[in-house]
Amino acid sequence: MNHPQSLRKISFNPIVDMQFKGLHWIEASAGTGKTFTLSSLMVRIFLNQYLPNQVIATTFTRKAAAELKNRIRLRLVETLRYFEGCQKLTDAEIQAKIAAETDPLLQKILTDYATRVDFARERLKLVLDQLDELFVGTLDSFSQKLLREFSFESGKIERADITDDAKSYTHQLIHDVLREWIQLQPQNVVNYLLLNQKLKSQDAYVPVVENTLNFASAQFQEVTAPELDLNQFEQLVDNFIQLDLSLIPTLSEYYSADGQYHSVIGKKWRTDSLMQRTLCDDLPAFIQALAEQRSYALFAPHFEKTLKNLTDLATKKVLNKCAEEVLNQFEQHVVIQSLKSFCEALSKLNMDLDLLDAYLKFYLSREVKKRLPQVLQQKSETTFAQQIRTLSEALQGEQGLRFAKFVQAHYPLILVDEFQDTNQDQDDMLARIWRDQKRYMQGCMIMVGDPKQAIYGFRGGDMLTYNKARADVLSKQGQEYSLRHNHRSVKALVEAIDALFQRQMDFGEEVFYSPVEVGVRPHPPLIDGQGENHQPLRWLQLNDKKQEPIQVAWKIRDLLNQGIEEKLYLAEKTGPKYLIENDIAILSKNHDGLDKVQYELERLGIRVNRPSKRSVFDHQVAKDVGAVLTAIMHPYDEGKIKRALLSRLLAFNLQQLIQLEAQADGLSQFIYDFDCIREMWLEKGFLTAWQYCLNLFQVWKNLVATQSRDNERTVVNLRHLTELLSQHSEQYQGAQKLYHWYLKQLQSPAEREWELERKLSNEAGVQLMTIHQSKGLEFKIVFLLGADKDFREMNKTLNFSTVDHVHPVTGKVEVQRVVAVNDKNLLQQGAIDQHNARAVAEQHRLWYVAMTRASHRVYAMLQDQDGKSNHGLAFWRGQAAQTFAHPGSTDEALLNEKPIKLQLRQQHEPLQLQALEFPTQRFYPRSKTSFSALAQHLTRKQAIDALAVNTEQMLSAADEIHVIEPVETVSNQPLSWIKRNFPMGTVAGTFLHEIFEHIDFKDQQDWPLEIRRRFKNDYPGLWLELCAKYEQEFQQQDEEQLIAWMSEWLQQVLTTPLHQDFQLNQLTEHEHLAEFPFYLSLSDHVLAIQRIHQLYAEYGIDMLDFNQANSARYLTGSIDLVYFDGQQYHIADYKSNFLGTDQAHYAGTEIRQSMSQASYWLQAGLYLVALHRYLTIQMQDYDIELHLGGASYLYLRGMNGQAEHGFYHWKPDAEFVLRLDAILGYFAEDKSSKIA
C-alpha cells in the first residue's frame, strides 16, 4: 500500500468486502483491473439500496467516463442474464454454482440473493431501465450539473455557460493589466526593463499566470516591488564617465609584462595580456560608448564580455599571494575603486530589475486571478475551474452547510475515480458534501486512485491534496482496499518489473510502491527463437545517445522481419498472430524524441501512427464550410455565392463557374437555394437546414468524386464539423451567433480535445506518443526513449513548497501548499529543495506509468555510458555492481547495421467484396404535415424541405388569398362600407376568427364590448388602419359607428341561411366547438399525394398539384367551427378573402372558383375525415350516412343574411370521405383499435 507503516487492516477484495456506508479508499495499481472492479461494485450498489438517479460516478476525462458507463451497462446485462439462468435451479444447485463460480461479483451476489433470485432479476431490470439517469462524467461536468440543478439552494441563480475559449480571456486580461502597469511606471524604469530584456510581450507571461490559476487555492507567496533609485545610479554613471583615463598607465606595474608586480597577478589576467587589454583598450572604449549612448551601452551585447571582465577585475581576487602593501595599492587605486563602485551599482541594478520582473509576474498573476471571475460574469460565462471555485464558495457557511446536506440527500453515494489527479478545489468541494465530520456515515463515498500514476501536476494535480484526503479518510474510520493482481502483463514481465520497483519502494512525496502479483487474465504468450515470453524486460545500452532513434528504428525493423519470417508471434487460440506494426509503441517524455524516431522509421518505410494535434478547423474543408455558411447568411451577395460554388463541397471549377454566369439565369437558382436554406435555418434550426443543404448540393458525392489520398480525411472532418456546429447551435441561439462563433474558430484554431482531428479507419502503424498520452493504454511491445536521461526542469515558472499552518477552525497544524514566482533572489534554499524533490518524485511516477504500459515486452533505451545516472529507470536499475539482475531481464545487443526489409512470403489474395445495391428507399423521421404544407399554391419564400417538416403554429387566416381586381366595374349590389374597407391580410383574418371564437352566437348584447376589447388590446394597428380609412372617407372620427357596423356584419353572417335554411345563430353553446384542433394519424409509408389528387378529379374537382410529404406520419390542423344542426355534424371555415366589391362576386360560382384556386376542397376533405374519425370514436352507434354532414365555407365579406350569397356548402358522398380516409391510412395497419 501507499503507506506500508499503516497498521490498519487492508482488504484486497473490495468487490466482496465493501459495505456501502461511510468512506472507502481503493488504491488500484496499473493493470490491476480497476474498471472491472468499479463496474462490479456498481452492480452491488444498485442491487443493494440505491437507484441510478441517486449515484454519481466521476473520472478524469470524458472518454474514460464513456468507457466506464458502457462497462457498467455491460456488467449489469451480464449479471441479469446470469440471474435469469439461475431461476429454475434448486437450492442445492445454486449452492453448487456458488462454489464453482470464479467471478467474485457473481459469487458474491448469488450468495446474497440465493433465496431472492426473482427479486434480483426484477431489480436489475429496473436499474437497466433507469440507467440513463446515472451520472457518469468528469468532476468539472458534475459541478456544472450541481449548480444548474440546485441553483436556488446554492444561491447561484445566475446562469453561466462554460466558455469554449477560456484562454482568450486570460490573454486579454494579461494584455490589459500589463498595459496598465507599464503606464504607471516612470519612463526610465520601462527603458531599463526593455534594455535588460525583462519586459516582454504578453505571451511570455501566459505560462506563469495559467500555472498560478491551476493552483488557485494554494498560498501565493507575496512579492514586494523593489524601489529603484535610478537617479542615484545615473549619478554614478556620470561619475564613472568622468574617470581620468590618464591614471590607467599608473597600473602598468601590474599589467605590463615587464612590470614590477606582473608576476603576482592571476594567470587568467596574464594570458594574452588580458588585464592590459581590458584596462587600456576595452575600458576607454566602454566609457566613450557610455558617454554617448548612456544606458544603451550597459546592455549592448558587444559590451557584455567587457563588463564581465571589468566586474571580475574590480570585485574578485586578481592578485596571487603577495605583500599586503602591494594588494592595498592595487585595490585602493582610483581606477579600481571607481570600477568597483560602478560595477557594484550595476550589479544592484540588475538584481533590482530581476526583482521587478518577478514582482511583475506576481502582480499579473494576482490581478488576473482577481479579475477573471468578474470578466466571465459580465459575459455570463465561466470556466470549469472557476465553476468549481463558485461551487466551493456556495458550500461555505450555514447556507453552504444546508446546501451540502441537500446534495448529499439527493446523491447519497459518489464514486470518484482517478482521485490522484484531483486538485485542491475539487477535493474541498467533495469533502464538504460527502466527508463532513457529522454526516459522512449518512452516505457513501468511494475514492479510487493510484498515487504512483499522479503525473498531471502541470494541470493542478498535487500529491499533497491526495495525502491530506487519505489522512482525512483514515481519521474517519474509512476502509482501505488495494488491488494487487496485475492482469495487464504476462507473468514474466510482471515479476521482472515488480522486482525492479521493489529495489526503491519510496517514490517520494509519501508515495510507496505496492508489490503486485500476477493476475488470472489469460494472455497469449509471445514466442520467439528463445522460447515463450523470454526475458521480456530488455535494456539497450547506447554507445552514442545520438544513435538512439536509429537503433530504435533498426530494432523495430528487425522485430517486424521476425514476424514476417514467422519467428515472432503471439500464440492465439485461433492460431499464431505474427507481429505487425500495430503491436509496437514508442513512448517518450517529450515530442522531440518522438520526432527523431518518426523520421528514422519513415526513412525505413515503416508506418507510424501518432495522435493528431491538428485542429479540425485548420483543414481546408473547414474553410469551405465557412464559405458555404457565408453564402447561406448572405444569399444575395454574388461574390460570396461564387466562393461557395468554388469550394470542394459544391465542386465547381473556374471554367464551370464562368459557363454558369454566361447562362441566362446565371446564379439565380443558387441564390434562391441559399435563401431557402437560410430561411429554413432561421425557422427549423441549423441541423435541418444543413442536412438539407448537404443533400441538395450532393456534397458527399462531390467530396469523393475524384480519387485522392485526402478523401477520407475530408469526409471525416466534414462529419466532425457538422457535429460541432450542431452541438454549438444549442448553445449559440440564432444563426448569426453560431455563424460568428464558427468564423472565430477558423481564425484561431486551438488544440482543445473536442476539436482535434479524429482517427481515420486506415490509421495503423507503430504508435508514437508521450508517456502522459499513454496513461491508461496498453501495448504489446513498448520502447522507452531516454530511460536514464538526466532530468532538467524546462521553463520553470513557479516554485512549489510547503509550510505548516494552524487551521483557523480545527486548530490543527496542517501542511499547506505554497506557490511562488520562480526567482533565485526571492526563494530560500529550503523552498527550492522542496520543489526539486517534488519534481523528481513526479518523474519517478512518470517512469512507473511508462513501465506498466506493455503486456509482453519492454525495451528501455539507456544513454548514460559513464554509469553515473540516477535518473529515470536508472533510479531503480542501479549502476555497476548494483545493476539490477533478474531472470526476466537482459541486456539486448545493439544492431551494427540496418536490417534488410523483408516482404511477406505469401501475399494473401484480396478478399472479394460483396457490395450491396444502393438502397432506393429512404428513411425519414416521423413528422407532421398540414393542409397548408400540402397545398401547392401556399408555398412561401421558405422551402418546404423534403422531410415535410413544416411550421406548426400558423395563424388562423394564413391560407387566405385575396383577389384585387384592377378594372373598375359597375356595382349592382355593392358591399357595405365595413365589408369593402375592412383590412385584408392574415392579421385581419385572424382577428375575425378570434371574434367568432369568443362571441355568443345567440346573444348580441356583449358583441360591441368584445369587438372593442379585442381591437384595443390585441389588434391596435388594425384598429388604427380601419379608423384612418373611415376618417379619409367621412372626414371625421366615429368609433361607435365602426363598432356598430362590425356588430351588424357579425349579425348578417350568423343569420345567413346555410344548408336547409339553417342559421348559425340557432346554435347554443353546447352545440358547437370553436377552433377544434386535431392530430390525424397517417399510414406508416409515404403519403400517396397523387392518389388524393386523382380522387378529387374523379368527383369533378380540379386543383393545383400538392406538395410531397414523404415523411409525414401525422396531419395536424384546427377546424374553425364544428357544429350540430340537430341531425348531423358539420364543419365551417371562416374566410375573409376579398373577391370583389359587389355582392355578385360572392355568388356560388365565384366561391367555387376561389376554393379551387386555393385548394380549399382539399382542406374540406381532410377536415371531414378528421371529424369522421372523431365521431367514430366518440359515438357508440355512429353511422357516416346519418351523422356526418358537410363543410360550409363562409366568405364573410359576402354574407349579408340572404341565401346563396357569401358561402358554399359542400357535402360529399360518404364513399368519397371513406376513400380519402383509406388513402390517408392509419399509423397501425389494423384499424380495429379505432385510434384516430
Which tens digit of pLDDT belongs to each residue from 689-713?
Answer: 999 999 999 999 999 998 887 888 9
360 pLDDT tier (thresholds 50, 70, 90) = very high
Q: Which residues are annotated as a binding site for Mg(2+)?
A: 993, 1120, 1133
Mean pLDDT for the stretch of residues 66-87: 95
Identify whether the C-beta of residue 154 lies closer than 8 Å to the C-beta of residue 394: yes
pTM (2 d.p.) = 0.74
State whether residue 505 is helix, strand or coil. coil
Which tens digit of pLDDT belongs to each residue from 789-825?
Answer: 998 888 889 999 999 888 776 677 888 999 999 988 8
CATH class of 616-755: mainly alpha
Within 13 Å of residue 272, how many CA atoms lie on the same side as its CB?
4
C-alpha cell at 487: 492482469
Element (H, E) at 161: strand 161-162
- φ/ψ region of 397 (left if φ > 0, alpha if ψ in -120 to 50, else beta) reads left
Contacts 24+ apart (CB under 8 A), 1040-1045: 1042/978, 1043/1008, 1043/1011, 1043/1012, 1044/1008, 1045/976, 1045/977, 1045/978
Q: pLDDT at residue 926 above 80? A: no
Which tens digit of pLDDT belongs to each residue from 1185-1222?
Answer: 999 999 999 999 999 888 888 999 999 999 999 999 99
User: Residue 947 carries which DSSP code?
Assistant: T
C-alpha cell at 108: 458474491
Residues forming the active site: 1133
Q: What integer pLDDT is reported at residue 761 of this predicted model?
A: 76
Mean pLDDT for the stretch of residues 329-349: 84
Nearest Cα to Cα of residue 104 among 127, 75, 131, 77: 75
Q: pLDDT at residue 1061 above 60? A: yes
Q: Which residues are annotated as a binding site?
A: 28-35, 993, 1120, 1133
Identify whether the C-beta of residue 432 lies closer than 8 Å to the C-beta of residue 399: no
CATH level 2 (architecture), domain 506-612+763-891? 3-Layer(aba) Sandwich (3.40)
- Least confident window among 36-40, 537-541, 693-697, 1221-1225: 1221-1225
Cα 800 from Cα 803, distance rounded (Å): 10
928-1233: CATH number: 3.90.320.10
Fold agreement (506-612+763-891, 616-755): no
Cα 1164 from Cα 1200, distance rounded (Å): 23
State whether residue 821 is helix, strand or coil. strand
Cα 940 from Cα 935, distance rounded (Å): 11
- Length of the chain as a residue count: 1236
Mean pLDDT for the stretch of residues 1155-1175: 90
What phi and psi, each to the nearest 5 degrees, are found at residue 1115?
-115, 125
| DSSP per position, 844-899 | HHHHHHHHTSEEEEEEEEE--SSS---STTHHHH-SGGG----TTEEEPPPPSSPP
Mean pLDDT for the stretch of residues 1103-1119: 74
- Least confident window among 260-264, 586-590, 857-861, 1174-1178: 260-264
Identify whether the C-beta of residue 874 lies closer than 8 Å to the C-beta of residue 799: no
Interior/surface letters 65-84, b for 16+ CB within 10 angstroms, e for the rest: bebbbebbbebbeebbebbe
Count H helices and E strands in the chain, helices first: 49, 33
Domain boundaries, the chain: 10-160+384-483, 191-378, 506-612+763-891, 616-755, 928-1233
CATH class of 10-160+384-483: alpha beta
Position 130: which residue type? Q
Q: Which residues are annotated as a binding site for ATP?
A: 28-35
